[in-house]
A and B are shown apart, each in its own frame.
Chain A
Amino acid sequence: MAARSISDSTAALTIETSVPFTSHLVDPPSRDVTTTPAELMTFFRDMSLMRRMEIAADSLYKAKLIRGFCHLYDGQEAVAVGMEAAITRNDSIITAYRDHCTYLARGGDLISAFSELMGREAGCSRGKGGSMHFYKKDANFYGGHGIVGAQVPLGCGLAFAQKYKKEDTATFALYGDGAANQGQLFEALNISALWKLPAILVCENNHYGMGTAEWRAAKSPAYYKRGDYVPGLKVDGMDVLAVKQACKFAKDHAVANGPIVLEMDTYRYHGHSMSDPGSTYRTRDEISGVRQERDPIERVRKLILAHDLATPAELKDIEKEIRKRVDDAIAKAKESSMPDTSELFTNVYKKGFGVEVSCQICSN
Chain B
Amino acid sequence: MFEALREALIEEMKLDPTVCVMGEDVGHYGGSYKVTKGLAEMFGDLRVLDTPIAENSFTGMGIGAAMKGLRPVVEGMNMGFLLLAYNQISNNCGMLHYTSGGQFKIPVVIRGPGGVGRQLGAEHSQRLESYFQSIPGLQMVACSTPYNAKGLMKAAIRSENPVVLFEHVLLYNMKEKIPDEEYICCLEEAEMVRPGEHVTILTYSRMRYHVMQAAKTLVNKGYDPEVIDIRSLKPFDLHTIGNSIKKTHRVLIVEECMRTGGIGASLRSAIIDNFWDYLDAPIMCLSSQDVPTPYAATLEDATVVQPAQIVAAVEQICQ
Hey, which bits of chain A sit against chain B, CB under 8 A?
92, 94, 123-129, 133, 135-137, 142-147, 150, 152-158, 160-165, 183-184, 187-188, 190-191, 194-195, 346-349, 351-357, 359-362, 364
Contacts and interface: CB of A to CB of B under 8 A. Distances in A.
A355 B164 CA distance: 13
A355 to B, nearest CB: 4
Contact of A348 (B57, B60, B136, B187): B136
Nearest to B61: A157
B300 to A, nearest CB: 30
B60 A153 contact: yes
B120 to A, nearest CB: 25
Given A150-B88, A161-B69, A156 B158 contact: no
Question: How many of chain B's residues touch chain A, expressed as a range?
Answer: 35 or more
21 contacts: A123-B101, A125-B99, A129-B100, A135-B104, A137-B104, A150-B92, A153-B56, A153-B57, A153-B61, A153-B64, A160-B70, A187-B52, A191-B61, A195-B49, A347-B98, A347-B102, A349-B137, A349-B139, A360-B159, A361-B184, A362-B184
Nearest to B160: A360
A126 B103 CA distance: 10
B100 A125 contact: yes
Contact of A353 (B62, B96, B236): B236
A128 B104 CA distance: 13
Contacts of B186: 359, 361-362, 364
Nearest to A124: B101
Given A126-B102, A146-B91, A353 B234 contact: yes
Contact of A188 (B57, B65, B70): B57
A352 B232 CA distance: 11
Nearest to A182: B56
B46 A158 contact: no
A151 B66 CA distance: 14
A348 B68 contact: no
Interface in B222-239: 234-236, 238
A187 B54 contact: yes
A10 B98 CA distance: 43
A94 B99 CA distance: 15
Contacts of B160: 360
